[in-house]
A and B are shown apart, each in its own frame.
Chain A
Amino acid sequence: MKVRRFHLFAMLLAFVLVAAACSDDESSDTEAPAATEAPAATDAPAATEAPAATEAPPATEAGFAGTIRLGAAVSETGRFAREGKDTRQGYITWADWVNEEYGGINVGGERYEVEIVMYDDEGDADRTASLVEQLINEDQVDFLLGPYSSGLTMSASAIAEQYGIIMVEGNGASESIFERGFENIFAVLTPAGNYTQSALKALADAGAESVVIAYEDTAFPTSVAEGAIRWAEEYGLELLGVETYPLEVTDVSAIMTKFRDLEPDIFVGGGHFNDALLFVRAAKELDFNPQGMVITVGPSNPSFVEEVGSDANFILGPTQWEGTMSWSDEWFGTSGDFYDRYTEKWGEAPTYQAAESAATPLALMVAIENAGTLDMDAVRQAMFDLDIETFYGPINFDETGKNVGKPMGSIQIQDGVINVVAPSEAAVAPLEYPAPPWEDK
Chain B
Amino acid sequence: MDQFLQALINGIMLGAFYGAMMLGFSVIWGVMGVINLAHGEFIMLGAYTTWVLNKDFGWEPFYAIILVFPLMFIVGYIVQRVLINRVVDQPILVSLLVTFGLSIIIANAVKLAYSADPRITETEFSGAWNVGNVTIPVTKTIILGLALVIMASLWTFLNRTRTGKSIRAAAQNKQAARIVGIDINAIYALTFGICIAITGVAGTMISPTQAVHPFMGAPLTLRAFAITALAGLGSIPGALMGGMVLGIVESMIGIYVDRIGTNLAVVAAFVLLVVVLITRPQGLFGGLRPVEQAEQL
- Residues of B contacting A10 with CB < 8 Å? 35, 92-93, 96
> Is A81 within 8 A of B291, CB to CB?
no
CB-nearest residue of chain B to A243: B259
> With A14-B37, A274-B211 given, is the CB distance from A7 to B126 under 8 Å?
no
- Residues of B contacting A53 with CB < 8 Å? none
Asked if B205 is an interface residue, CB under 8 A from chain A, the answer is no
Asked if B60 is an interface residue, CB under 8 A from chain A, the answer is no
B106-135: which residues lie under 8 A (CB-CB) from chain A? 107-108, 111-112, 115-120, 122, 126-128, 130, 135
- Residues of A contacting B250 with CB < 8 Å? 251, 254
A407 to chain B, nearest CB (A): 28
Q: Please report the C-alpha to C-alpha distance between residue A38 and residue B110 in the assembled complex, in whole angstroms.
A: 12
A73-91: which residues lie under 8 A (CB-CB) from chain B? 77-79, 81-82, 84-85
Interface stretch among B61-69, B137-145, B176-184, B235-243? B137-145
- Residues of A contacting B215 with CB < 8 Å? 77-79, 81
A227-268 interface mask toward B, CB cutoff 8 Å, 1 = contact, 0 = none?
Answer: 000000000000000111110111111110110110000000
- Residues of B contacting A17 with CB < 8 Å? 37, 96, 100
> Is A286 within 8 A of B137, CB to CB?
yes
Q: Please report the C-alpha to C-alpha distance between residue A77 and residue B111 in the assembled complex, in whole angstroms.
A: 8
Q: Among A78, A257, A438, which residue has its beta carbon within 8 angstroms of that of B127?
A: A438
Asked if B266 is an interface residue, CB under 8 A from chain A, the answer is yes
CB-nearest residue of chain A to B137: A285
- Residues of B contacting A281 with CB < 8 Å? 120, 139, 208-210
Q: Please report the C-alpha to C-alpha distance between residue A34 and residue B106 in the assembled complex, in whole angstroms.
A: 13
Interface stretch among B75-83, B156-164, B193-201, B217-225? B217-225
B226 to chain A, nearest CB (A): 9
> Is A250 within 8 A of B277, CB to CB?
no
Asked if A4 is an interface residue, CB under 8 A from chain B, the answer is yes
Asked if A65 is an interface residue, CB under 8 A from chain B, the answer is no
CB-nearest residue of chain B to A20: B218
> With A34-B104, A254-B262 given, is the CB distance from A81 to B251 under 8 Å?
no
> With A254-B10, A257-B7 given, is the CB distance from A21 to B103 under 8 Å?
yes
Asked if A309 is an interface residue, CB under 8 A from chain B, the answer is yes
Asked if B255 is an interface residue, CB under 8 A from chain A, the answer is yes
Q: Please report the C-alpha to C-alpha distance between residue A248 and residue B104 in the assembled complex, in whole angstroms.
A: 17
Asked if A308 is an interface residue, CB under 8 A from chain B, the answer is yes
> With A78-B215, A248-B219, A278-B211 given, is the CB distance from A7 to B92 under 8 Å?
yes
- Residues of B contacting A246 with CB < 8 Å? 262-263, 266
Q: Among A21, A253, A287, A303, which residue has its beta carbon within 8 angstroms of that of B130?
A: A287
> Is A303 within 8 A of B122, CB to CB?
no
B146-165 interface mask toward A, CB cutoff 8 Å, 1 = contact, 0 = none?
Answer: 00000000000000000000
- Residues of B contacting A248 with CB < 8 Å? 218-219
A232 to chain B, nearest CB (A): 16
- Residues of B contacting A284 with CB < 8 Å? 126-128
Q: Please report the C-alpha to C-alpha distance between residue A309 and residue B123 in the assembled complex, in whole angstroms.
A: 11
B83-95 interface mask toward A, CB cutoff 8 Å, 1 = contact, 0 = none?
Answer: 0000000001100
Q: Please report the C-alpha to C-alpha distance between residue A161 and residue B211 in the assembled complex, in whole angstroms.
A: 37
> With A18-B225, A22-B219 given, is the CB distance from A85 to B120 under 8 Å?
no
- Residues of B contacting A260 with CB < 8 Å? 135
Q: Please report the C-alpha to C-alpha distance between residue A15 and residue B96 in the assembled complex, in whole angstroms.
A: 10
Q: Please report the C-alpha to C-alpha distance between residue A249 and residue B140 in the assembled complex, in whole angstroms.
A: 17
> Is B263 within 8 A of A285, CB to CB?
no
- Residues of A contacting B128 with CB < 8 Å? 284-287
- Residues of B contacting A21 with CB < 8 Å? 37, 100, 103, 218, 221
CB-nearest residue of chain A to B262: A245
- Residues of A contacting B97 with CB < 8 Å? 30
- Residues of B contacting A39 with CB < 8 Å? 108
Asked if B261 is an interface residue, CB under 8 A from chain A, the answer is yes
B254-297 interface mask toward A, CB cutoff 8 Å, 1 = contact, 0 = none?
Answer: 11000111110110000001000100010000000001101110
B242 to chain A, nearest CB (A): 16
- Residues of A contacting B260 with CB < 8 Å? 217, 243-244
> Is A3 within 8 A of B295, CB to CB?
yes
B88 to chain A, nearest CB (A): 14
Asked if B172 is an interface residue, CB under 8 A from chain A, the answer is no
> Is A285 within 8 A of B255, CB to CB?
no
Asked if A429 is an interface residue, CB under 8 A from chain B, the answer is no
> Is A13 within 8 A of B105, CB to CB?
no
A3-44 interface mask toward B, CB cutoff 8 Å, 1 = contact, 0 = none?
Answer: 110111011011101110110000000110011001100100
Asked if B3 is an interface residue, CB under 8 A from chain A, the answer is yes
Asked if A102 is an interface residue, CB under 8 A from chain B, the answer is no
- Residues of A contacting B251 with CB < 8 Å? 253-254
CB-nearest residue of chain B to A258: B255
Asked if B168 is an interface residue, CB under 8 A from chain A, the answer is no
Q: Among B139, B221, B261, B291, which residue has its beta carbon within 8 angstroms of that of A18?
A: B221
Q: Please report the C-alpha to C-alpha distance between residue A8 and residue B279 in the assembled complex, in whole angstroms.
A: 13
Q: Please report the C-alpha to C-alpha distance between residue A10 and residue B200 in the assembled complex, in whole angstroms.
A: 26
Asked if A273 is an interface residue, CB under 8 A from chain B, the answer is yes
Asked if B214 is an interface residue, CB under 8 A from chain A, the answer is yes
Q: Please report the C-alpha to C-alpha distance between residue A333 and residue B137 in the assembled complex, in whole angstroms.
A: 49
Report 20 cross-chain contacts, Cβ distance below 8 Å, ordered by A residue: A4-B292, A11-B277, A17-B100, A21-B100, A77-B215, A79-B215, A81-B116, A242-B259, A243-B261, A249-B262, A253-B10, A253-B254, A260-B135, A281-B208, A284-B128, A285-B209, A287-B128, A287-B135, A307-B120, A309-B122
Nearest first, the 6 A-B pairs at minimum CB distance are: A254-B254, A81-B116, A22-B218, A285-B137, A274-B211, A245-B262
- Apart from the given pairs A21-B37, A245-B263, A255-B262, 8 other A-B contacts in the complex at a CB distance below 8 Å: A6-B295, A11-B277, A34-B101, A42-B108, A85-B115, A249-B266, A307-B118, A439-B127
